[in-house]
Amino acid sequence: GKAPESTDYANYFCTYAFLYHQKDMLEDHKRTGAYFQAVMQNRRQFSGKVVLDVGTGSGILAIFAARAGARKVYAVEATSMAQHARKLVQHNGLAGVVEVIQGTVETVSLPEKVDVIISEWMGYFLLRESMLDSVLVARDRFLKPGGSLFPSHARLYLAPMRSTHAHHRKAEFQGSMEGWAGFTQDMRQYYGVDMGCLNEEYRREQQEYFLETSAWADVHPSQLLGSPACFMRYDLLTVTLEELAAPLKAEFRMDVLDSGPVDGFVGYFDVQFRGSPENPTDYEVLLSTAPDPTGATHWGQQTFTLNPVLEVTAGDAVVGEITVVRKKENHRLMEVTVAHRVVGASPAAATAGHLRISRYHIE
Amino acid sequence: GKAPESTDYANYFCTYAFLYHQKDMLEDHKRTGAYFQAVMQNRRQFSGKVVLDVGTGSGILAIFAARAGARKVYAVEATSMAQHARKLVQHNGLAGVVEVIQGTVETVSLPEKVDVIISEWMGYFLLRESMLDSVLVARDRFLKPGGSLFPSHARLYLAPMRSTHAHHRKAEFQGSMEGWAGFTQDMRQYYGVDMGCLNEEYRREQQEYFLETSAWADVHPSQLLGSPACFMRYDLLTVTLEELAAPLKAEFRMDVLDSGPVDGFVGYFDVQFRGSPENPTDYEVLLSTAPDPTGATHWGQQTFTLNPVLEVTAGDAVVGEITVVRKKENHRLMEVTVAHRVVGASPAAATAGHLRISRYHIE
Ligand SMILES: Nc1ncnc2c1ncn2[C@@H]1O[C@H](CSCC[C@H](N)C(=O)O)[C@@H](O)[C@H]1O
Ligand SMILES: Nc1ncnc2c1ncn2[C@@H]1O[C@H](CSCC[C@H](N)C(=O)O)[C@@H](O)[C@H]1O
């Protein structure tokens, strides 16, 4: 297998070559435990089967599959982490079953087709990293007809939230602009250079950074002011690379349950392990990254703050359209647009009823 | 001019495209003030001259040169910061003198040769970023015979220091190893996977990160236990690209002035503005990043911690050889090796007198 293209390596793959980072993912037990259950409680799906683990990292999912009775597991990993995975597999007595292959799944060759593809490919807000592309390439290259994907389905959600984080970011933004004002004063006084002509450029840059970039957060369910809208569902067996590469455009409706100012939206995802239509799982596992009183997975949720806030009243609804587009400069990052307005009978709906469009970067 | 090669852009150039980062450098007034003085107190060097600013960033040094009376300033900048520079130049009434060109200095063409090249190219420990290469390319392509470089000379230093930071890093390293022990226990208990075979790999990785990577620090002069060794001097007018690309190997001797354990070495640099032999500056400016009771420049110093510490007695000397090599994967980062031993009549010198070799990454 060929090494990843060099920019992509610099931007994306290099962190995965550290055990420290693999450990971070492994010790997210909601995550690792969900895969463990999905495999170990569905051994019938794995027993005697040929499995491909796309992006095996430490080798953990390949080991689960082998323990569940797979006849053969191909564990493909782009980075040098493959060497640690190989050692782990040997040390756990599974070298006869698991074959670790270093390379990208786009370029390696396998001696046979597989019954099951397992992969933990999800990024922030599901789509960041665009690693699902690689799983679909693997599916199209290597999965037998009737074979199944673990996970098999994914969903995206958006909900209105209350959050002090939004205020903090606004304060930080204002602090940064005050810093700039002092700075331009110093530059004039010390060096006779007037930098005022760049005020707007600096504001634009800082606004993007502080207000128009989504942030990781561990949102508590009590912060939700309304019901989450499930705005996108993927059937991983049938979605195409072209569909994934195209802009995601979806309508949403979030019913408001509590009155108050909406500080922003919280976005998150879940994935389901349902096997394939020909071979459904016996026990269906759900890995959810929804706001959870017991704490977030390592993905947390992504928050998109509103500026100014949106006033809503219980009984209203926030409706609109969300667009998720890959960045031209880096297809692993995204731009999100949320066009939204408040509908309902309340006075708030009347004043907040015009369409607002908010844009965010997912970095 | 061609855009920088894509990996290099992802790794290196992209941060310079933000005003926020340019501001960080500009408001380091030891830095910006040194260039201001070097130019404004040597107007004779600039008056009526043609100047090239390599990596103009915000355009600041080009503006200084124009204010000092340059006939023409070519201000070359690789990133889109060039657009802000152009606006700043216009707004400050210097559009007739300063021409901002977006591109790398390796690839742009200029209509004439220049009398002076000014550039702020220094990275951590002077050499990180390897931007001096670009200045030398510019010198060889564009500087008239007898022309001068601002700055014209650079020096590197190493000194023995006392530092609680070294203890902190060791504690963090130990904490990280304890974290790993707990983690492997959980992995065994939860999933029946034994990760013990990767203990040594994890230790290696964390050791590199915590103990064998140099760190930014604002060292106070009172932390120095001995006299700094100036182990390298560059005459920027004559040093060649080949010399820069080759490993730097230099001997050093640091006289110990205070007894005690040496927790590590502190490395730093200075640059001098001396003009050229044909055209020396009237007023020689020094920009130093040495430990300073009034606080560090944005470069701070680089600290290289020792593990275990080195016991020394006043009157001893620490002697040895330092090697600085560029990383194969990324020529803008380096690896530093410090081979050292204690010499002198004291008992400490007798026990610590064997050669020790410490290796570090500059990231
Ligand atoms: N196209 C590709 N080919 C091979 N490996 C890939 C890949 N894209 C991403 N990866 C790898 O996929 C891994 C995703 S992280 C998941 C690691 C492991 N399966 C676990 O669940 O703990 C990373 O190690 C990354 O390097
Ligand atoms: N090879 C090259 N060609 C053109 N610009 C370069 C370059 N290498 C680095 N640069 C630019 O050089 C700048 C160095 S930072 C210094 C900025 C400015 N001269 C000041 O003193 O404040 C960055 O903006 C970087 O983008």
Say if CB A64 and CB A56 are below 8 A apart: no
Select from A23, A32, A193 the Cβ nearest to the Cβ of B92: A193
> Up-side HSE of residue A222: CA atoms within 13 Å toward CB?
4
Q: Whose CA is nearest to atom 25 of ligand 2?
A: B55
Residue A3 has pLDDT above 80, yes or no: no
Which DSSP helix (H) or strand (E) runs through A50? strand A50-54
C-alpha A329 to ligand 2 mean position (Å)? 21
Distance from CA of B193 to the nearest CA of A (A): 7
Q: Whose CA is nearest to atom 9 of ligand 2?
A: B55
3-state secondary structure A89-106: HHHCCCCCCEEEEECCCC
Give the residue from chain A lying closest to B62, CA to CA.
Answer: A193
- Residues 6 or more apart whose CB falls under 8 angstroms from that of A308 comprise none
Residue B22: helix, strand or coil by DSSP?
A: helix
Residue B45 has pLDDT above 60, yes or no: yes
Residue B44 has pLDDT above 50, yes or no: yes
Q: Does the active-site annotation cover B278?
A: no
Say if CB A281 and CB A42 are below 8 A apart: yes
Question: Region A88-93: what's the mean pLDDT?
Answer: 98
Select from B32, B63, B198 the Cβ nearest to the Cβ of A88: B198
Residue A1 has pLDDT above 50, yes or no: no
CB neighbourhood size of B278 (10 A): 10
B16 CB near a chain A CB, below 8 Å? no
Distance from CA of A166 to the nearest CA of B (A): 21
User: In chain B, what residues touch A205 (CB-CB under 8 Å)?
Assistant: 18-20
- What average pLDDT does chain A have? 95
Residue B270: helix, strand or coil by DSSP?
A: strand
- What average pLDDT does chain B have? 95
Q: Whose CA is nearest to atom 19 of ligand 2?
A: B56
Give the residue from chain B lying closest to A35, CA to CA.
Answer: B191
Strand duo A72-77 + A98-102: pairing: parallel
Residue A161 has pLDDT above 60, yes or no: yes
Q: Is B137 exposed, middle or buried (0-12, 13-18, 19+ CB in 10 A)?
A: middle
A64 CB near a chain B CB, below 8 Å? yes
A195 CB near a chain B CB, below 8 Å? yes
Residue B1 has pLDDT above 90, yes or no: no
- Residues 6 or more apart whose CB falls under 8 angstroms from that of A306 comprise A166, A262, A263, A264, A265, A358
Question: Region A33-59: what's the mean pLDDT?
Answer: 98
Q: Which ligand is nearest to the CA of A332?
A: 1
Spell out the alpha helix ranges (H) of A211-336.
Answer: 241-245
pLDDT tens digit sequence for A101-134: 999 999 999 999 999 999 999 999 999 999 999 9
A198 CB near a chain B CB, below 8 Å? yes
- What pLDDT score was predicted for residue A35? 98
Give the A:B interface size as CB pairs under 8 Å: 101
Tokens of B90: 């216009």
Contact A26 B183 (CB under 8 A): yes
First-to-last C-alpha distance (Å) of chain A: 29
Atom of ligand 1 nearest to the CA of A31: 21
pLDDT tens digit sequence for B257-286: 999 999 999 999 999 999 999 999 999 999
Tell me which of A296 and A9 has the higher pLDDT. A296
Q: pLDDT over 70 for what percent of chain B?
A: 99
C-alpha A35 to ligand 2 mean position (Å)? 48
- What pLDDT score was predicted for residue A79? 95
pLDDT tens digit sequence for B212-251: 999 999 999 999 999 999 999 999 999 999 999 999 999 9
From the list A310, A360, A320, the residue with the least C-alpha distance to A340 is A320
From the list B153, B157, B139, B151, the residue with the least C-alpha distance to B31 is B151
Contact B198 A84 (CB under 8 A): yes
Contact B32 A191 (CB under 8 A): yes
